[in-house]
Structure 1
Amino acid sequence: MGIKRIVLLLTTVLLFSTTLMKAESPESIEKEGVVKGKIYDGKTKAPIEYATVAIYKKEDDSVVTGTITDEKGEFKVKGLKPGSFYIVVSFLGYDNKRFDDVFVKSAREIIDLGSIELGASSTAIDEIEVVSERQSVEYKIDKKVVSVGKQMTSASLSAVEVLENVPSIRVDIEGNVSLRGSTGFTVLIDGKPTVMDPSDVLRQIPASTIENIEIITNPSAKYQPDGTGGIINIVTKKNRMQGVQGLFNLKGGSFGMYGGDFLLNYRKNKFNFNLGGDYNYRPFPGTSYSERSTTNNDTTTIIKSNGDSDREFRMMGLRGGFDWDITDNDVFTFGFRVGDFKMENSSLLDYRTIVMADNYESDELQELSLNNGQRGGNYYSLTTNYTHKFDQEGHEIAAQLNYRYRDGDDTSENLLQDASRAVTDGTKTTEFGPSGRWEMRLDYVKPLGGDKRLEAGFQGRRSISQDETELFIWQDGGFVEQTDKGNLTDYDRNIMALYSTFNGTYGNFGYQIGLRGEYTYRDITTKRDNQNYKIDRLDYFPTLHLSYQLPSDNQIMGSYSRRIDRPRGYYLEPFVTWEDMFNVRMGNPDLLPEYIDAYEVGYLKSWDKAQLSMEGYYRVKHNKVERIQTVYDEGILLTSFMNVGTDYSLGAEAMFNTPLTKWWEINIMGDLYNYRIEGFKNDQSFETSSFNWSSRVSNTFKVRKNMQLQLDGNYNSATVTAQGRNEDFYMINAAYRLDMMDRKLSAVLQVRDLFNTGQMVSVSEDPGFYNYSERRRNAPMFSFTLSYRLNNFAQKRGKRGGDNSEGMEEEF
């Protein structure tokens, strides 16, 4: 069966590619009047992507046509009729450049403007000011790019805090991230995957080591389709200037927070070496309250808990590598990343329990619950990449081989004490095991004449992991292992994929169509009961991207993609795992993957110093996976995973960025959508919906030439789940930045959750139980960051960071 599916996959994608090549062969392209060129940053010589090229009729100043530059800074405008024109090239943060007296004599003429250098905007004070003028969030054709350098309120923290001020993203106070309402998204680091859980990756990476973050909600067929929400690509800081450059950061803050990181870069002739490291300790003390009512066999148990809780993150890592420009057409790169991640939870809670049965009601039982847990492990990754460029511009082939490894360890210990502090009951659970993943890919790009281009490639993945669980019960003054409750599970997953995309332009109209086929073979084996669960499946993922360039820096974009979210390993475990004394978990090996059909349309308008972007979207998620809670025993809830049905999201996003004065810039973002879930849970049909919205406002004040103040506020409305709802919350953050020593030394003081309004409140209920939980972090939280740049460490502008895309581990 597997061989037949592979042959079918190969045949389908090859037929798709061949059809496109025949339909758009070079011989079929008509010759037209053409204007082309290439746009660079005048100082760094880096190509500028998405610069606007507008062509005007000279006789009446009317707009004839226009386009934007690609990732190489190149542009080409076709279809010009004979006449006299002038051309204006513009990009935010740069002075416009105008070309007068452009004459097209015939429809076959090609006018090459050559290399065009744009200089820093005259409104900027100096080089550093130019960098700071970048939009905090830039909308591009296929993604949003978050400029981390402008997020002063996140300088001491991680990628999670940066994402709090990004459209499409929701972050709760626990640091859990969702992309357009979905936690099923892929996280990439410099376009490459990671074996860690997405939220853990975002918590682990310091904001000071990030150049920008790319949000790709509708990726093309070239990208792996894992994650129904889309892709979050973390682009880390790099430098390819000659000589030695460096960046050093030290940070500290309230509740004992401390850390630091560094990045060194050395380039000489054809070699570029980089080395970076970081260590961070981040505590989040707070309080928690919960109230639970469960009914089992006509007995109702009510448990209320209240007390202090603490969550701590310890992260350290080392990364490095080199680039070797073998020839002008051949480049080899090697990179490594190694580190350790640990999250610790502890709480001391006052539990009060009442049991009611028939006409009986017990006295209130008061106990203390001591809970300690940790999750983490060490990891490493190795990456090699070779790229060869052919003589034809844009014609290239690239090969990549990656390996990633993680050793996971998860422990939870819970003790109950009576009024005399004697232990009356307790549980201890452990879950550990290694996971490894090989990946290879081959990508080929071939220009077909004009603006048309064909991309095709092969990608293969092999994931192997093992998960061992153990349960210990408190007996006779100590923990005793329950050998009949443990289990050992082996996971083996293989995915082979072929993809092809074709893109081009026709006048002001741009398009890209793509098809990806994936063959998946998965085998899960549990040792205790010797059960085996297999998948042998073939999937197809079509994509479509369209754009239309309107006059006067207006642009319309539209896209469609189909994606998949494969269940994580523990979602599939067919046995009960104790999480603590009041909660157990059981997976579902028959769980189906989620599929999503995502439609988007966007509008982008730019002025000299302002930008407006609007997006509408409609998303349909099939086989929606939800955590479903039921009563396991008196006072104990069982969490399982079910395909409950279909959810729908229909909404719109908008962002407006403009300077109000010379010293005040404001960025306003908003997102509103209607969310609906319908289907079956526990053999009962259901339907629930909510109108969700969020808004973010960021103000940047230039107090003096070397001083800036930033004030941010964000609000997230309540939203429904299959069994309840998560309540709304808002937070206000502030930061102050001072640059010294000719901007080589910078200091940032920041305050988060200024008025202690951040909270996480959720309610879930069904026949047989009601559960309310609330958690608040201690706030406000203060932090201080000191940064030093060696030899004026600066970043390249206009470079894409996410062309090499990968999928997310921990999914089967």
Structure 2
Amino acid sequence: MHVRFSAAASLLSLAAATLAPAPAAAQSAPTASQPAPPPSRERAQTVTVTGSRPQVIDAPDRLSFNVANDLGAQTGSLADALRNVPGVEVDLEGKVSLRGDPGVTILVDGRPSGQLRGEGRGDALLAMPANGIERVEVITNPSAAMSPEGSGGVINLITKKQRAAGTTGTVRANAGLEGRGSVSLNMARSRPGLTISGEAAYRRFTNEIIVTQDRERFVPGGASLLSRQEQFHDNVAQGFNSRFGVEYDLDKTNRLTGEISYRRNQLESDRDESFIGNALEPSFTRLNDQEMRQRILGLRTSWRKTLPGKDHSFSVDLAHDTGGMNRLLDGRITPAVGADIFERIDNNIDRNETRFKADYKKPLGENRSLNLGYEYEGSNADFDFTGARGSAPNALVTQANLTNRFDFSQDVHALYGTAQVNSGKWEFQPGLRLEQVGLNLFQRTDDARYEQDYFRVYPTLHIGRALSERTKLRASYSRRIQRPGPFELNPYTFYVDARNIQRGNPNLKPEVTDAFETSLQYRKDATFISLTGFYRRSRDMFTEILQTLPDGVLLQTRANLGRGSRLGLDAILNGRLSKTLNYQLSGTVQRIELDPRGIAGTFGKVSGMVGSVRGSVNWQPSPKDFIQVSGNYQGKTLIPQGYRLGGGIVNVGYRRKIDDKLSLLVTGQNILDSARQEVVINTPAFRDRLKFRVRGRAVLFGLAYNFGQGNSRRPQPQGFDFHPSAGSVGQ
């Protein structure tokens, strides 16, 4: 690794050597009360609409969507906010995908979040409140300055910022039936050279979920065994987020920032279950209580120095996240014949992540610039799983197949460089990223070790051509990677329920994707139209594979596919029907091909067309009234052993502005009671149909109160708040 990086490291050292103390004539850094303007190389096409920001902002490598006016997001979860973003799908279990690809990296303000990675991400998306999110950036083909992690791309959540001088803040509260509600406080105090900000939010949400699973298992002799499993979940989800940050300007060219954040999610679930078996699989009923807790403490500090010349800077960013997840299950199984069986499952995962990034930007004359950087990410996870069963709660016996210790450790070193060249109506942004990865797995229970060490090169290219003042053509290419996480690599059993278990695969290889895109964008006043054709070709795709064990239990494990591809079209259409009525529509249609190449339990190559659509209509009949109707529908999605069927959700909202400080809000979620999904598995050994439905509608009543000097806000530049070259860690 040292040999491979020696030349690039020397180049970075040479760039850093230019950081001599800035003379008095150096470009002044923006004060803490005035955010830095977006990098000029983005050249974002924008349109200024009186009283509001554009719903969509475009740049060479991303689209940014304003969700601040999404009334459902103001009272809902992060999952609710993401479901209305073009190209993004979030199912009822919180699993997120981009254009149907589950390989998605989620960032918050340009940085990884421990809660939005790994095995607990779905629960976090369903629990965390979304009213602190202002915009969502969708980056399907990032530049080399960002990590290539995520075969489908990157979703960057941009949080709301208080930008006024003096003291400002917002209090929001929502309440509904059945114990649903949320409350949040966001405050900031700014003066020249110093900004102190903080926020705290709590959300509680309840729902009822009905799950049915019909299975047909084939046995020798041509016979089949039918079974049915029914579950009723009574869930209570709670999420708490807090953050405190400081920005301080040492002088006109040096800015220091520090931030501490804490997030905690909790899901309590009471579950009633019945299994109707057959001659070989006895029937039973089961009651269990499950409690899942997640916690993340994050620390971050950074230094940014502005150097002489426009867009000339050096930044250093250091971040550390520590936390984990705990899942505790207490259950009682009552078989059709025989005595009760009691069980306790305790899963503990502790995780730590450290990230460091040094980034240097230098202009190279008119319309040219260079960006160089080094990035390190180190992560480790400790798994401690225990499972016990017995004839009484005080007579439990440890089960070897449910008890294990597993350690995960991974280090990623990266050097990257991008260049920006603008020539007339053309824009070029080539990039190259070099990464060295060391992965170590230690299965303590069996004293077994697994290691992977590999070096990869990731080229990127973005090209833009202005066809007119309103129309732009873009094309891009990037090489992406999807690295399996610790949960997917752990070879021991994770107990889901009495008929379903999961197991990782320590021999999983990273999935590599070559992504090509071409887009045509048109903007006139409030109208924005985007058509994007894409083709993604992947090798070593890792996916979930299901198989039945001799006792009929369904085992979900992971394996690498031979290859796969996606060819499709994204369409976005935003505009106004009148001065008071506007709309946002988007959809994706694509052809998917998957080639399992010899993986047991499949019929071979599968292909087909899939699609999704979403939209919203906003009506402002008066300056004080705002009405919104939004919905989304997820169509059929192919998987190697079958397919998933989505469904549609419709939400409504009404906001009444009492005065400049106080607003009232009413939202209705899932008003058609149509939230459901279905997974169909068809293999040579069995057929399985899993139906998942969230029962009931949710109506929330809320208010928002702004205090302080909110009317003195400076105009916000219509650009991007975060960019990979601006010192964000972990991109």
Displacement of 1:45 after TM fit? 8.2
Distance 1:301 1:236, change over 3 A: same
Distance 1:16 1:597, change over 3 A: farther
Matched, 1:136 2:64: no
Name the structure 1 match of 2:4: 8
Name the structure 2 match of 1:707: 625
Displacement of 1:173 after TM fit? 2.4
Letter in 2 for 1:738: R
- Helix, strand or coil: the match of 2:417? strand
Q: 2:672 aligns with which of 748, 751, 755?
A: 755
CA contact (8 A) 1:693 1:717 kept: yes
Letter in 1 for 2:61: D
Q: Deviations over 1:299-318 (max 9, x none)?
A: 85432123422333211121
Displacement of 1:643 after TM fit? 0.3
CA distance, structure 1, for counterparts of residue 518 and residue 64 of structure 2 = 17
CA distance, structure 1, for counterparts of residue 219 and residue 241 of structure 2 = 48
CA distance, structure 1, for counterparts of residue 480 and residue 217 of structure 2 = 38
Letter in 1 for 2:204: Y
- Helix, strand or coil: the match of 1:801? coil
Q: TM-score, normalised by structure 1?
A: 0.82
Q: 1:183 aligns with which of 78, 102, 106?
A: 102
Matched, 1:639 2:556: yes
CA distance, structure 2, for counterparts of residue 609 and residue 700 of structure 1 = 13
* Residue correspondence of structure 1 range 63-78 to structure 2 within 5 A: 70=41
CA contact (8 A) 1:548 1:557 kept: yes
Name the structure 2 match of 1:329: 253
Distance 1:575 1:48, change over 3 A: closer
Matched, 1:673 2:590: yes
Distance 1:685 1:767, change over 3 A: closer
CA distance, structure 1, for counterparts of residue 63 and residue 350 of structure 2 = 35
Letter in 1 for 2:93: E
RMSD after superposition: 2.6
CA distance, structure 1, for counterparts of residue 218 and residue 391 of structure 2 = 27
* Residue correspondence of structure 1 range 241-280 to structure 2 within 5 A: 241-280=164-203
Q: Deviations over 1:524-573 (max 9, x none)?
A: 11111100001111111111000001123110111111111111112112
Letter in 2 for 1:802: F
Name the structure 2 match of 1:168: 87
CA distance, structure 2, for counterparts of residue 242 and residue 631 of structure 1 = 63
Q: TM-score, normalised by structure 2?
A: 0.91
CA contact (8 A) 1:762 1:773 kept: yes
CA distance, structure 2, for counterparts of residue 331 and residue 72 of structure 1 = 25
Letter in 1 for 2:3: V
Name the structure 1 match of 2:19: none
Q: 2:293 aligns with which of 373, 376, 386?
A: 376
CA distance, structure 2, for counterparts of residue 423 and residue 689 of structure 1 = 48
Q: Deviations over 1:724-769 (max 9, x none)?
A: 111131122111111112x211111111222112211111121222
Matched, 1:348 2:344: no
Q: 1:515 aligns with which of 432, 448, 470?
A: 432
- Helix, strand or coil: the match of 1:491? strand
Name the structure 2 match of 1:203: 126
CA contact (8 A) 2:57 2:719 kept: no
CA contact (8 A) 1:9 1:538 kept: no
Displacement of 1:466 after TM fit? 0.9
Distance 1:47 1:527, change over 3 A: closer
CA distance, structure 2, for counterparts of residue 802 and residue 296 of structure 1 = 57
Name the structure 2 match of 1:65: none
CA distance, structure 1, for counterparts of residue 590 and residue 245 of structure 2 = 43
Q: 1:492 aligns with which of 406, 409, 414?
A: 409
Q: 2:349 aligns with which of 411, 429, 433?
A: 433
Name the structure 1 match of 2:716: 796
CA contact (8 A) 2:46 2:58 kept: no
Name the structure 2 match of 1:458: 374
Name the structure 2 match of 1:722: 640
Name the structure 2 match of 1:118: none
* Residue correspondence of structure 1 range 172-571 to structure 2 within 5 A: 172-196=91-115, 197=117, 198-295=121-218, 301-355=225-279, 367-418=284-335, 424-476=340-392, 478=394, 480-482=396-398, 484-485=400-401, 486-571=403-488
Matched, 1:744 2:668: no
CA distance, structure 1, for counterparts of residue 358 and residue 9 of structure 2 = 15
CA contact (8 A) 1:718 1:726 kept: yes
Displacement of 1:146 after TM fit? 1.7
Name the structure 1 match of 2:576: 659
CA contact (8 A) 1:345 1:374 kept: yes
Q: Deviations over 1:140-181 (max 9, x none)?
A: 332121211121132201221111111111122233211121
CA distance, structure 2, for counterparts of residue 45 and residue 797 of structure 1 = 10
Q: 2:527 aligns with which of 589, 592, 610?
A: 610
CA contact (8 A) 1:240 1:272 kept: no
CA distance, structure 2, for counterparts of residue 637 and residue 376 of structure 1 = 26
Give structure 2 stretches of 5+ with no counterpart.
15-29
Name the structure 2 match of 1:578: 495
Q: 1:152 aligns with which of 52, 62, 71?
A: 71
Moved more, 156-165 or 451-460: 156-165
CA distance, structure 2, for counterparts of residue 141 and residue 520 of structure 1 = 28
CA distance, structure 1, for counterparts of residue 404 and residue 552 of structure 2 = 25
Letter in 1 for 2:262: V
CA distance, structure 2, for counterparts of residue 577 and residue 418 of structure 1 = 22
CA distance, structure 2, for counterparts of residue 461 and residue 153 of structure 1 = 35
Distance 1:12 1:322, change over 3 A: closer
Q: 1:772 aligns with which of 668, 686, 689?
A: 689
Letter in 2 for 1:581: A
Name the structure 1 match of 2:47: 92
CA distance, structure 1, for counterparts of residue 38 and residue 304 of structure 2 = 21
Letter in 1 for 2:366: G
Letter in 2 for 1:271: L
Q: Deviations over 1:66-90 (max 9, x none)?
A: xxx65699xxxxxxxxxxxxxxxx9
Displacement of 1:484 after TM fit? 3.2
Displacement of 1:635 after TM fit? 2.5
CA contact (8 A) 1:373 1:410 kept: yes
Give structure 1 stretches of 5+ with no counterpart.
19-39, 51-68, 74-89, 95-120, 122-129, 357-361
